[in-house]
Amino acid sequence: MRFSAFSLFALSSLFVSSLAAPTSLQIRDVAVAEVEQRDTSVVAVEERTLPEIVVIVDALVTEVFSYTASINVTISSCEGISIDLGKKIKIIADIQVEIQKILSAFSLASLKIYKLKFIELIEADLKLVISLAIKVFIEIICTLLHAVAVLKITIIELLGWTLTLFLHTYISFLLAIGGVVANFIVNIKIGFQIYLVLIGKVFVDFGPLLAACK
């Protein structure tokens, strides 16, 4: 499968087109701008056949963004109106269905990645994988924060028992990449530093778990 680096970075438009609140949009825009500013050299890469790890992560991002878009549509229908308990329970259940799909997508991607052979990516491809891994998680974080703000609930009420599972599923995804891509873990740790406060609003243990990754 052939992609251009530009087409991969065009995924950032999904941040802008999502139906989240203005605050969430601003966070997304800043996150994308910061990642792309650090990775400007990647955009200049000519169209070529990318390593399988990049293709897998790219496909994951596209799939997850479709689920967060569905959540955003659901939440947008609740903005500025009174929501009774019955409707709120229904909305939470609908969101949890999409959350389950996201978890399945990450798990499947991890299984595919574990089957790959160890590789030392060129700098451009390494940056692509890192930026995509960060983008997809920030998208999820912003979507969840918007949902709890509109529904006036806690993140625990929204995610329930999947809260811990969600975090560990994503960490497992990072470890899967780190197991086949040289220098991924050390660089993803650096890339996430500026987002730890934001992520901590949803997953308080993310920072320590990321730091423990090797």
160-202 per-position pLDDT tens digit: 999 999 999 999 999 999 999 999 999 999 999 999 999 999 9
Provide the sign of the torsion angle of the four alpha carbons 53, 62, 105, 156, taken in this order: positive
CA distance linking residue 177 with residue 192, whole number of Å? 15
Residue type, 115: K
The answer to whether residues 146 and 140 touch, using CB atoms and an 8 Å cutoff, is no
d(CA 185, CA 211): 9
The Cα–Cα gap between 73 and 160 comes to 21
Reading the block at residue 137, the tokens are: 């998680």
Per-domain boundaries in the chain: 2-212
Give me 94's structure tokens: 């609908």
pTM over 0.85: no
Q: What is the pLDDT of residues 121-166, one digit of tens each?
A: 999 999 999 999 999 999 999 999 999 999 999 999 999 999 999 9
